């Protein structure tokens, strides 16, 4: 009876994962979807702790279990509450890395159990089917390799996003990485097929090589590509977790891992499409490195500045204003001031909306979450295709810290590393106001020809301070 109840709980939890993931696809239901999935996970954990029973044996070790749950809950809650929106991408990378580490630890523990079995010719049960022990070893090794690569790679991504690590590469690194990966796969295949006497030593050699591969896999990838890498590593963690579900014949763990793996893969593909680049190009192209360059060698002219009072007048007497949020807005924590400016302009009869690029910020949905935090109406957030249709009839575009996603070189300069990437066509508006701290290139490390065009005016300064001053000027205009 207890087993049947636990199976029902696992089924319900799996359904909540699927429903929650579906609800995450729209901003209005995303928060509720996250809560639904979290409730399902809580139900699965509680059910496993109290209802698991195999051959008359329960889990035991409740002190360790609840101690770990308590520590993890406290650390996770404090970290989530204190993290700034600008630091959210590295937190996601850090937490994802912890998931990969857990999957790798499961493989290590289960390998230790396996080698102490009297015979590897025995079978193990999964989904009511007898599987050979060689199959179990294969799943253990897959979980180890994928989970370890995800952990090591995520730690590098975390360090690069918070500025503590820089891009690192050397001549022939891609060949080195490929050779290292082939060596890992070759050793794993040898273990499964031959099961040598030194299997335990070989297992930990594979573990060490997987850590090395994870580090060198992410080190050369440019900072602007970190969102794609995080998404890819997230899919790795999901696959590694699914291996754990296979090992334990746990349907909810298997379902959750498959969902994470599939969602991460699809998101990676969508982001590559949004940048008009292949995943291979992302992984070996080193786009977004630290060296700034003028895109395609375009001879840049002089730029013109606009005063706060003039910017306020231009926006106050416009019929339609489009705001383009970017990482500069997140850094300055200026979303609330931005929303206040929006409401003030709307009160003057100006139609205000926001143009959201798929890869704006440092992770997918970064700008959406940032603006939602300030209670900006979801209806005002326009996706790239909608915004591009609206730009020709827009009087003023206010760009707040965005750079590469509005760079015309993506359409006009074949020599540019971002050539072909879909961008926001802000240059089609009647007037463009760009707020930046300086003329320093964006995250991709290339100059932006938009800043030197006749319809563009620069408004330098911290986004929050500039918006607060604009609010004052608009009130007085």
Rounded to whole angstroms, the Cα distance separating 396 from 173 reads 46
Say what the pLDDT of residue 299 is: 43
Say what the pLDDT of residue 296 is: 42
Tell me the average pLDDT across 104-124.
76
CB 126, CB 249: distance < 8 Å: yes
* Together in a domain, 386 and 255: no
- Range name among 91-95, 338-342, 409-413 with the lowest pLDDT average: 409-413
* Together in a domain, 184 and 260: yes
Tell me the average pLDDT across 456-461.
92
| Final residue in a domain of this structure, among 285, 318, 336 | 285
Give the residue, 117 or 476, on which the prediction is more confident.
476
Rounded to whole angstroms, the Cα distance separating 448 from 438 reads 12
* Together in a domain, 275 and 338: no
Query: For residue 268, is it within any domain?
Result: yes
Say what the pLDDT of residue 122 is: 55
Query: For residue 257, is it within any domain?
Result: yes
Tell me the average pLDDT across 45-69.
84
Print the domain residue range for 420.
296-476
Say what the pLDDT of residue 88 is: 78
pLDDT at 124 over 60: no
* Together in a domain, 268 and 373: no
Tell me the average pLDDT across 341-364.
88
Tell me the average pLDDT across 426-455.
83
* Together in a domain, 45 and 129: no
pLDDT at 1 over 60: no
Query: For residue 405, is it within any domain?
Result: yes
Say what the pLDDT of residue 290 is: 43
Share above pLDDT 90 across residues of the chain, in percent, rounded to a whole number: 45
Cβ neighbors of 8 (< 8 A, separation 6 or more) are none
Query: For residue 163, is it within any domain?
Result: yes
Give the residue, 191 or 277, on which the prediction is more confident.
191
pLDDT at 402 over 60: yes
CATH code: domain of residue 348: 3.40.50.1220
Rounded to whole angstroms, the Cα distance separating 264 from 224 reads 18
User: pTM higher than 0.85 for the full model?
Assistant: no
pLDDT at 391 over 50: yes
Rounded to whole angstroms, the Cα distance separating 54 from 3 reads 8
* Together in a domain, 260 and 383: no
| Final residue in a domain of this structure, among 22, 49, 82 | 82
CA triplet 381, 233, 115: central angle to 5 degrees?
150
* Together in a domain, 307 and 210: no
pLDDT at 468 over 70: yes
* Together in a domain, 179 and 116: yes
Query: For residue 291, is it within any domain?
Result: no
| Final residue in a domain of this structure, among 285, 308, 343 | 285
Tell me the average pLDDT across 16-31.
85
Query: For residue 428, is it within any domain?
Result: yes
* Together in a domain, 252 and 201: yes
* Together in a domain, 228 and 175: yes
Question: What sign results for the dihedral spanned by CA atoms 129, 130, 134, 139?
Answer: positive
The whole-chain average pLDDT of the chain stands at 85
Give the residue, 474 or 90, on which the prediction is more confident.
474
Q: What is the domain count for the chain?
A: 3
* Together in a domain, 98 and 77: no
Query: For residue 290, is it within any domain?
Result: no
* Together in a domain, 317 and 364: yes
Q: What's the Rg (C-alpha) of the chain? A: 26
Q: Is 304 left (phi over 0), alpha (psi -120 to 50) or beta?
A: beta
pLDDT in tens, 268-316: 888 787 777 677 766 765 444 444 444 444 445 688 899 999 999 999 9
pLDDT in tens, 159-175: 888 778 877 778 888 88
Say what the pLDDT of residue 118 is: 57
Say what the pLDDT of residue 117 is: 67
Query: For residue 50, is it within any domain?
Result: yes
Query: Does the annotation count 404 as an active-site position?
Result: yes
Catalytic residue (choose from 55, 249, 404, 413): 404
């Amino acid at each position: 009876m207890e087993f049947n109840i636990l199976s029902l709980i696992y089924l319900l939890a799996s359904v909540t994962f699927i429903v929650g993931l579906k609800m995450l696809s729209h901003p209005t239901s995303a928060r509720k979807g996250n809560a639904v999935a979290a409730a399902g996970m809580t139900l699965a954990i509680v059910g496993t702790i109290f209802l698991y029973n195999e051959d008359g044996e329960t889990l035991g070790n409740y002190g360790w279990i609840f101690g770990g749950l308590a520590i993890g809950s406290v650390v996770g809650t404090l970290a989530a509450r204190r993290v700034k929106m600008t630091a959210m991408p590295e937190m996601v990378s850090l937490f994802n890395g912890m998931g990969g580490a857990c999957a790798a630890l499961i493989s290590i523990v289960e390998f230790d159990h396996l080698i102490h079995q009297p015979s590897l010719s025995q079978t193990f049960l999964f989904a009511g089917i007898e599987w050979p022990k060689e199959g179990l070893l294969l799943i253990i090794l897959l979980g180890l390799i994928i989970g370890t690569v995800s952990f090591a790679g995520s730690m590098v991504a975390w360090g690069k996003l918070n500025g503590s690590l820089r891009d690192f590469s050397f001549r022939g690194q891609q060949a080195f990485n490929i050779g290292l990966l082939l060596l890992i796969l070759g050793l794993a295949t040898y273990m499964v097929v031959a099961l040598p006497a030194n299997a335990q030593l070989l297992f930990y050699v594979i573990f060490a090589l997987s850590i090395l591969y994870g580090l060198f896999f992410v080190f050369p990838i440019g900072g602007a590509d970190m969102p794609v890498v995080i998404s890819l590593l997230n899919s790795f963690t999901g696959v590694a977790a699914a291996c754990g579900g296979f090992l334990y014949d746990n349907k909810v763990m298997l379902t959750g891992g498959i969902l994470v793996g599939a969602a991460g893969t699809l998101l990676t593909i969508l982001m590559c499409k949004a940048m008009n680049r292949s995943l291979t190009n992302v992984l070996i192209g080193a786009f977004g490195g630290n060296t700034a360059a003028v895109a395609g060698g375009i001879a840049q002219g002089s730029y013109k500045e606009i005063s706060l009072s003039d910017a306020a007048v231009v926006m106050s007497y416009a019929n339609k204003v489009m705001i383009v949020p970017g990482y500069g807005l997140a850094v300055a924590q200026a979303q609330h001031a931005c929303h206040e400016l929006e409401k003030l302009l709307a009160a003057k009869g100006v139609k205000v909306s926001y143009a959201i690029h798929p890869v704006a910020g440092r992770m997918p949905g970064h700008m959406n979450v940032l603006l939602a935090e300030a209670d900006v109406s979801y209806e005002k957030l326009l996706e790239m295709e909608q915004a591009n249709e609206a730009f020709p009839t827009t009087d003023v575009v206010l760009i707040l810290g965005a750079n590469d996603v509005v760079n015309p070189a993506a359409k006009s300069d074949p020599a540019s590393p971002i050539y072909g990437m879909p961008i926001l066509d802000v240059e089609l508006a009647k007037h463009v106001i760009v707020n930046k701290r300086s003329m320093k290139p964006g995250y991709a490390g290339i100059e932006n020809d938009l800043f030197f065009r006749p319809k563009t005016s620069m408004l330098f300064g911290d986004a929050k301070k500039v918006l607060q001053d604009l609010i004052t000027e608009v009130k007085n205009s």
